[in-house]
Structure 1
Amino acid sequence: MPNPTSLTVHQKSGLLDIAFDDGAAFSIPFELMRVYSPSAEVKGHGPGQEVLQVGKRDVRIDGIEPVGNYAVRPLFTDGHNTGIYTWDYLYKLGSEQQQLWQAYLGRLHDAGFAGDSGREPGTVVPGAPVQHGCGHHH
């Protein structure tokens, strides 16, 4: 598999630019990275165990930690920091992002979200327990 030659985090645009030694280069949205995190928290522990991620449109990356010579661990602004993104996985996210977006939007639609509503910050999956703790009481 190709190895990265550069990796740049763009806070304003919310994109991770990554170039590989085979000439491929991708701009991967933070939101796509977050909703497709390879962590157990998102992927589950087997097929059908995936946890739909919602409300991640405005998520940003506070930092990125290297993991050996094969991966990075982004520190997302929503507190998620357990995803280990291998070079192969980042290549897949970059090269397949159109299909991945469509699959994600399809899952949001299947969960009952219309249009982009499931991507908005503060969105909760219907039927999921609501976590309070932001200082607001309802």
Structure 2
Amino acid sequence: MSQPAWPVRLTFRRGAGELVAAFDDGTSGAVDYVRLREESPSAEVQGHGSGPKPVQAPVPADIKVERAEPVGRYALRIFFSDGHSSGLYTWDLLRRLTVGA
């Protein structure tokens, strides 16, 4: 099994409303803040267990990232302008959202 790609740069572009990520395998990509918030890995968004995802209110088109903090060496906690901050975005999830792989 290969090692997951490691982020070497994460840039939150406020004006564009997107996160740009570059990884140590040479790949890079971007995800807009709306999708980043919609795909939050929190139980509030994804649900608990194997049941269906809960119905969520639409994410505001003007949502912003207020700040982000590393969690250990494996994830990022993102604080959104709507008060949501409970999801931990692993490096693998951020790669899937930004690069699509």
TM-score by length of 2: 0.88
**1:62-81 maps to which residues of 2 (within 5 A)?**
62-81=66-85
Identity across aligned pairs (percent)? 42
* 2:99 counterpart of 1:95: yes
For CA contacts below 8 A with separation 6 or more, give which structure has more relative contact order: 2
Aligned pairs (5 A) from 1:24-63 = 24-53=27-56, 54-63=58-67
Structure 2, unmatched stretches of 5+, are none
Aligned partners of 2:30 and 2:98 also within 8 Å? yes
C-alpha contact (below 8 Å) 1:38/1:84 kept by paired residues: yes
TM-score by length of 1: 0.66
The answer to whether the Cα contact below 8 Å between 1:14 and 1:60 also exists between their aligned partners in 2 is: yes
After TM superposition, the runs of 4+ consecutive aligned structure 1 residues lying more than 4 A away are none
Provide structure 1 residue ranges, at least 5 long, that are not aligned to the other structure: 98-138
Amino acid at match of 1:22: D
SS in structure 2 of the partner of residue 79 of structure 1: coil
Bigger proportion of residues as strand: 2
- Aligned-residue offset at 1:55: 3.4
Residue 21 in 1 paired to residue 16 in 2? no
Residue 11 of structure 2 aligns to a residue whose secondary structure is strand
For the 8 Å contact 2:77–2:89, the answer to whether it is kept is yes
Structure-2 residue corresponding to 1:133: none
Count how many residue pairs are aligned between Structure 1 and Structure 2. Answer: 97
More helix as a share of residues: 1
Kindly name which structure, 1 or 2, has the bigger radius of gyration based on alpha carbons.
1
Secondary structure of 1:88 counterpart: helix
Q: Distance in 1 between matches of 2:59 and 2:21?
A: 25
Aligned-pair distance for 1:50? 1.1
The whole-number CA distance in structure 1 between the counterparts of 2:85 and 2:21 is 19
What's the offset of the Cα at 1:96?
2.9
